[in-house]
Amino acid sequence: MTAYLEAKNYTAAKPIVDRVLRSDPMDFRANYQRGTILVALADGPTGEPRTGLRSQFESGQGVLDATARMLPRQDPTCAKAKGFYTIYNAIGWNYLHWRQYRDAERYLLQGKAAKDHLSSDDYVRVLNNLGYTLLKENRAKDSVAILKEGKSLGSSVSANLLDIAQALATPAKR
pLDDT > 60? residue 1: no
Three-class DSSP category at 26: coil
111-140 confidence digits (pLDDT tens): 999 999 999 999 999 999 999 999 999 999
Q: What is the pTM of this model?
A: 0.86
Q: Which range among 13-22, 77-86, 160-169 shows the weakest confidence by mean pLDDT?
A: 160-169
Torsion of CA 7, 86, 64, 43, to 10 degrees: -40
CATH 1.25.40.10 assigned to domain 80-174? The reply is: yes
Identify the burial level of 118 via C-beta atoms within 10 angstroms of its C-beta, where 0-12 means exposed, 13-18 middle and 19 or more buried. Answer: buried
**C-alpha span between 156 and 29 (Å, rounded):** 30
Q: Confidence class of residue 96 from pLDDT cuts 50, 70 and 90?
A: very high
Strand partners, 21: none
Confidence of residue 95 (pLDDT cuts 50, 70, 90): very high
> Does position 2 have pLDDT exceeding 70, yes or no?
no
Residue-wise pLDDT for 23-74, tens only, equals 999 999 999 999 999 988 887 665 666 666 778 888 899 999 999 999 999 9
Q: Where in the chain is the domain with CATH 1.25.40.10?
A: 80-174
